[in-house]
Chains A and B, each alone.
Chain A
């Protein structure tokens, strides 16, 4: 065992450090609450690591800057919160179309519109069903504590490079701003990283390369899309992640991610104390969604309770996994509201009756 020590760190900063340790040396972003600590952290760390930090003029520019830096070979990240992520959708679609790796972090806040700055999970559809135009997907990882903010960001850069596709970390204002103990000193991947063999860096001793998403010739774009779909199919097969908590004998399985999953977990513990067989299924990859893994927990009479900080977005995926919709229940809070344990436990008791 290494002598690594846990430190107290906010989720936002843990995310930033995960990026730095993954070898990210190019960051562009625009301030927005509740992720400002992350931008500020990257500004300091990029200076220390001789990387590039740019406070861009907008989120449109930030995502275009990481587009440029990615095609030049750097490991790149941009971060924002909901309204800013809406602006980044143009660039995310272009990143996917041009097959460029990048990590995009959304520390979600309440919407629609300017909404508020309280934690929310209302950008699930936008993240998992293609927020930008065109047929594309990206791996979306949902951490539920500071440790995972670090770990998933650290790992996201490898996934992005493996598929040459953007990867999103989908978190929320509560996870971003809360301080928790976490290990944040993994191996720094900036060292000894091999140069990618598809980048644009001048055509010395090779043929010129073109990185584009425009395919005008007859049939060309459909063929390109078929290739992209093959990649997405591979992600569907290999990138599914989830956690099960006390689900083996559970008569009621809560389904929740991120902050909602933390609340659901403590509700399960409370219910167990009263002898109620409650468990939690926590999707970690929101795309690809763990449909089969969730379905396999359905013993025919099992009840499912989906908890989200939204009007009900992930519940649509749960409904795809669990065919008998009558056994799928939903509890949601919107606009920055956080699910209340008492409400959930009361609902769970009613469902289990």
Chain B
């Protein structure tokens, strides 16, 4: 038995109500339950989760902004027996790293991607992300996201789910109990896809930033139910 649990004792720096703390816990629980901690090599992003290595009790590296899937590709090809996953925000994955995620998925890399969609750039002060809702105010969309200038929320999960190399894609949310347990099941499924050597797997977790983009956590939760999950419907997209 592996007695060292996947989460360290270090107190997380995340703001109260931040989705990252919850999602870290879920990922670590899954790794513990699968008993694969000693096989994991994780790739942390540039974003609020940049110091995830403080909280994760397994091997971790940290990629340049957006490049996690390419770094994970390199690791997994050298260590096909290991479990390699990336953990990325929506700026990291859906803006600067769009090319890397699409092509890693299309090559069918046997890696798992945890895609945290909180609708903003948390770390740099709440700027608009590709996933920001139409009309949503952010530090760089003062009058709200305007489709004539900023385009529409980008649907990366839908985009990659049509690719042949992709085995499993699911979108979940973590703003309520059911969502949390569904997220855990999805992440477990995604890791199992990798363990069984089946192909690329990704879970998009609709999360929230308690500081930027909403006046209160309550409002952020409300937006997830009212708008975010309408634009980004939850469920299995592939697999």
Show the binding face of A for B, using Cβ within 8 Å.
26, 28, 52, 54, 56-58, 60-62, 64-74, 76, 90-91, 94, 98, 200-205, 208-214, 216
Interface members, chain B 18-71 (any A CB < 8 Å): 37-41, 43-44, 50-51, 53, 56-64, 67, 70-71
Chain B residues within 8 Å of A91, by CB: 64, 67
| B75 near A72: Cβ-Cβ < 8 Å | yes
| B78 near A72: Cβ-Cβ < 8 Å | yes
| A203 near B74: Cβ-Cβ < 8 Å | no
| A214 near B74: Cβ-Cβ < 8 Å | no
| B78 near A65: Cβ-Cβ < 8 Å | no
Minimum distance in angstroms from A264 CB to a CB of chain B:
39
Minimum distance in angstroms from A272 CB to a CB of chain B:
51
Q: What are the nearest 8 A-B pairs in CB distance?
A: A68-B74, A64-B70, A69-B74, A68-B71, A72-B78, A64-B67, A57-B103, A200-B59
| A214 near B38: Cβ-Cβ < 8 Å | no
A-B contact pairs, 5 of them (CB 8 A): A26-B78, A60-B67, A61-B100, A72-B75, A73-B79
Also in contact, A90 and B64, with CB within 8 A (given A68-B72, A200-B59): yes
| A214 near B50: Cβ-Cβ < 8 Å | yes
Interface bits B77-93 vs A (CB < 8 Å: 1, else 0): 11100110000000000
In the complex, how many residue pairs between chain A and chain B have their CB atoms under 8 Å apart? 130
| A64 near B75: Cβ-Cβ < 8 Å | no
| B63 near A201: Cβ-Cβ < 8 Å | no
Minimum distance in angstroms from A120 CB to a CB of chain B:
27
| B51 near A65: Cβ-Cβ < 8 Å | no
Cα separation A200 to B99 with both chains bound (whole Å): 25
Indicate which residue in A67, A73, A201, A216 contacts B51 across the interface (CB closer than 8 Å). Answer: A216
Output the nearest chain B residue to A60 by Cβ-Cβ distance.
B67
Number of interface residues of B (CB under 8 A): 37
| B77 near A94: Cβ-Cβ < 8 Å | no
| B77 near A202: Cβ-Cβ < 8 Å | no
Also in contact, A28 and B74, with CB within 8 A (given A61-B103, A203-B38, A204-B38): yes
| A71 near B61: Cβ-Cβ < 8 Å | yes
Candidate in B39, B41, B51, B53 with the most chain A CB atoms within 10 angstroms: B41
Chain B residues within 8 Å of A202, by CB: 38-41, 58-59, 79, 82-83
Output the nearest chain A residue to B62 by Cβ-Cβ distance.
A212
Cα separation A200 to B43 with both chains bound (whole Å): 11
Cα separation A56 to B102 with both chains bound (whole Å): 12
Candidate in B56, B60, B63, B64 with the most chain A CB atoms within 10 angstroms: B64
Also in contact, A201 and B74, with CB within 8 A (given A58-B99, A209-B59): no
Output the nearest chain A residue to B82 by Cβ-Cβ distance.
A202
| B64 near A201: Cβ-Cβ < 8 Å | no
Chain A residues within 8 Å of B57, by CB: 203, 208
Chain B residues within 8 Å of A71, by CB: 61, 74-75
| A64 near B71: Cβ-Cβ < 8 Å | yes
Chain B residues within 8 Å of A214, by CB: 50-51, 62
Cα separation A208 to B67 with both chains bound (whole Å): 22
Output the nearest chain B residue to A67 by Cβ-Cβ distance.
B71
| B79 near A201: Cβ-Cβ < 8 Å | yes
Chain B residues within 8 Å of A60, by CB: 67, 70, 99-100
Cα separation A97 to B122 with both chains bound (whole Å): 24
Cα separation A339 to B102 with both chains bound (whole Å): 45
Chain A residues within 8 Å of B39, by CB: 202, 204
Also in contact, A26 and B77, with CB within 8 A (given A98-B61, A212-B62): yes
B73 at the interface (CB under 8 A from A): yes
| A61 near B38: Cβ-Cβ < 8 Å | no
Also in contact, A201 and B41, with CB within 8 A (given A64-B63, A94-B64, A208-B60): yes
Cα separation A210 to B82 with both chains bound (whole Å): 16
Cα separation A76 to B57 with both chains bound (whole Å): 27
Cα separation A69 to B37 with both chains bound (whole Å): 20
Minimum distance in angstroms from B155 CB to a CB of chain A:
20
Candidate in A28, A69, A202 with the most chain B CB atoms within 10 angstroms: A202
| B59 near A210: Cβ-Cβ < 8 Å | yes
Chain B residues within 8 Å of A203, by CB: 37-38, 40, 57-59
